[in-house]
Amino acid sequence: MFKKGSIFKFAATSLLLMSVVIAGCTNSANPKGNETAPSSTPAAGTENQPAKGSTITIAYSQGAGQTMDPHEAADLTSASYALALYDQLVTSATEEKDGKTVGRTDKVVPSLAKEWKVSDDGLTYTFTLEEKAKFQSGNPVNADAVVFSLKRLQSKGEGGSLYALSNIDSFTKVDDTTVEIKLSAPNPLLLKYLATFTFSIVDPSVVEGQADDYLTQHSGGSGPFSLEKWDPATEAVFVANKSYWKGAPQADKVIVKYIKEASNRELLLENGDVDVALDIPTKDVEKLRANKDLTISSESTNRIVYLGMNSNIKPFDNLKVREAINYMIPQEQLIHNVAYGQASPMTSSISSKSSAHTSEGNSFKFDPEKAKQLLKEAGYENGLSFDLVVSSATQDYEDIAVLLKSELEKIGVKLEIQKTAPAQYREIINKKEAAAFLGKYTSLVNDPSYHYGFLLATTGASNYAAYSNKDVDALLDSAKSITDEAKRVEIFQEVQKKITADAPWGYLYESNLIAGLRNEVKGYVFYPDEIIRFVTLSK
């Protein structure tokens, strides 16, 4: 055990595993530094082993990514690019579980920082950098690069939101291999935040003198891959960094293809034209499992799927209308008929995978008579109509919308499904112009501070329902610097009860992450943040 202020010393590992999941708060992020983090599992190859020469092709459903800039990335595709091109000060651990290597985003281990220490008051973190770490330009990853990256991150949209949650007050270079970060208040999640792609360290020599959006289409990192080419509409191609300071990646090349239609992704997978296919429809899991050439991974995550209702737009400016909609959500049908059993009920505004989860205060169950009574009290005795914005990228969204439409008709509510292309969908919800929409969210850090800081705090970057409750905001602010886990749980359970009472969302379900792989693919590691790490993939 490490005492307060003691130095965290870990052997730097040769791995940055590939993943797909997200995790929660544990002692490894304790600002007092009184717990050691587990070591990450070594990659299939050893350090400095040459790339295998194979090409891995992955079919994505959400597009070929919005950006290569790790400080601007907001979608899972772009996040996987960031983890391929860049390193962070610390990274997520792995462990062996049931004979498989799995990601542990609730535990951090060294990466660019080989060790660190934390002051007794939890306000000062001092990181010692790995001397052998180099950017792909050949420049060393030094303190100047870390300071440059943190300064750059502050001004970015998506990345800036997470930076704001970190409580970072200042960051300074102590010497070439030492960086000091001071906090305005203790933050039990700081190390977990630093392990996300958002806090990637970029090469100043690549960025300086270029346009502000230069990294949107170029790379300047120290990661296991470099960018060969990218067409946001179709594909991205990455080539191995054979001089990668942690050891060459297992594949020589990774190709990401944007295949919108699930049936086409499945056909390409079955024919061997792609090696990995993501977002396999739940209805096809058992059929594909019968194919002896394939392995289907379906893992429980903290991804939530919800119906957002904007209280600034009629008819959802009326609480009774939002409550009525909640009483018309057929959860059992959704899990059976849409998710085909690859999901579990959502009973609060945060995943049941969170240690702070509570369903207390949630009285919503399928009850058409109760819903009709609430509509009458709201002044909509003769019914109402609204548009539901749905992204065309996810078949499950359409299936959910059709089922909701059918059920709501029974109480005189007319739901019009507004099916939109992914880019249009993002624009509508980002501008908070949708009266109602279907959304899903996977917290990169499985902790309520992160989850609510983005989704349901008044200023949250992903608060697409425009939810605002001053009491909730005050509770969230009070929890940011509390390190006592029992107190944090108490606060977040109160937050959940208040949010459920306000009903900004309809609770649908928590979905599994489903990926299809050819049997010859090796090195796939599931992470709870749902982000694929390319570095260990091979065949």
Amino acid at 47: E
Q: Is residue 152 a contact partner of residue 204, using CB atoms and an 8 Å limit?
A: no
What are the CA-CA distances from residue 294 to residues 277, 523, 537 (Å)? 11, 15, 16
Residues in the chain: 539
The secondary structure of the chain in percent helix, strand, coil, rounded to multiples of 5, reads 30, 25, 45
Whether the CA torsion 425, 282, 452, 312 is positive or negative: it is positive
Between CA 401 and CA 388 the distance in angstroms is 8
H or E element that contains 511 = strand 505-518
Q: Tell me the pLDDT tens digit for each residue of 246-303.
A: 999 999 999 999 998 889 999 999 999 999 999 898 999 999 999 999 999 998 888 9
Burial of 271 (0-12, 13-18, 19+ CB in 10 A): exposed
Q: 49: buried, middle or exposed (CB in 10 Å: 19+, 13-18, 0-12)?
A: middle
Backbone φ/ψ region at 39: left (φ over 0), alpha (ψ -120 to 50), beta: beta
Burial class of 229 by CB neighbour count within 10 A (0 to 12, 13 to 18, 19+): exposed
> What is the β-pairing status of strands 55-60 and 253-258?
parallel
Write down the pLDDT at residue 16: 29
Looking at domain 303-510, what is its CATH homologous superfamily? Dipeptide-binding Protein; Domain 3 (3.10.105.10)
Backbone angles phi, psi at 296, to 5 degrees: -110, 120
Spell out the alpha helix ranges (H) of 262-315.
Answer: 262-271, 285-289
Rounded distance between C-alpha atoms, residue 240 and residue 262, angstroms: 29
Element (H, E) at 372: helix 368-377
pTM above 0.85, yes or no: no
The structural architecture, per CATH, of the domain 42-275 is 3-Layer(aba) Sandwich (3.40)
Show Cβ contacts of residue 393 under 8 Å, excluding neighbours closer than 6 positions. Answer: 61, 62, 63, 260, 421, 422, 425
Q: Is 490 left (phi over 0), alpha (psi -120 to 50) or beta?
A: alpha
CB-based contacts of 481, cutoff 8 Å, min separation 6: 167, 185, 186, 187
> What CA–CA distances, in Å, run from 529 to 303, 441, 452, 462, 512?
9, 10, 16, 16, 12
Which residue, 504, 537, 498, is CA-closest to 520?
537
Residue 96's Cβ-count burial label (10 Å; 0-12, 13-18, 19+) is: exposed
Give alpha helix (H) positions in 409-535: 422-430, 448-455, 470-479, 485-502
DSSP SS3 for 278: strand
Q: What's the CA gap between 289 and 297, in Å, rounded?
A: 9
The answer to whether the 42-275 and 303-510 domains have the same CATH topology is: no
Tens of pLDDT along the chain (539 residues) come to 333 333 333 333 332 223 332 233 322 222 333 333 333 333 333 344 444 459 999 999 877 788 999 999 988 899 999 999 999 999 999 998 888 888 888 889 999 999 999 999 999 999 999 999 999 999 999 999 999 999 999 988 778 888 988 999 999 999 999 999 999 999 989 999 999 999 999 999 999 999 999 999 999 999 999 999 999 999 999 999 999 999 999 999 999 999 988 899 999 999 999 999 998 989 999 999 999 999 999 988 889 999 999 999 999 999 999 999 999 999 999 999 999 999 999 999 999 988 899 999 999 999 999 999 999 999 999 999 999 999 987 778 899 999 999 999 999 999 999 999 988 999 999 999 999 999 999 888 888 998 999 899 999 989 999 999 999 999 999 998 788 889 999 999 999 999 999 999 999 999 998 999 999 999 999 998 889 999 999 99
Q: Please work out, in degrees rounded to the nearest 5, the angle formed at the alpha carbon of residue 415 by the alpha carbons of 411 and 416.
A: 160
Q: How far apart are CA 10 and CA 444, in angstroms?
A: 24
pLDDT at 48: 40
Residue type, 205: S
Q: Which of 232, 255, 201 is nearest to 85 (CA)?
A: 201
The tokens of 143 are what? Answer: 């303190």
As a whole number of Å, the end-to-end CA separation of the chain is 40
Q: What are phi and psi of 479, to 5 degrees?
A: -85, -15
Please name the residue ranges forming H helices in 290-326: 319-326
Alpha-helix residue ranges (DSSP H) falling in 111-249: 143-154, 157-165, 190-194, 204-207
Q: How far apart are CA 463 and CA 499, in angstroms?
A: 13
Distance between CA atoms of residues 336 and 327, nearest Å: 18
Q: Where are the domains of the chain?
A: 42-275, 303-510
d(CA 396, CA 321): 25
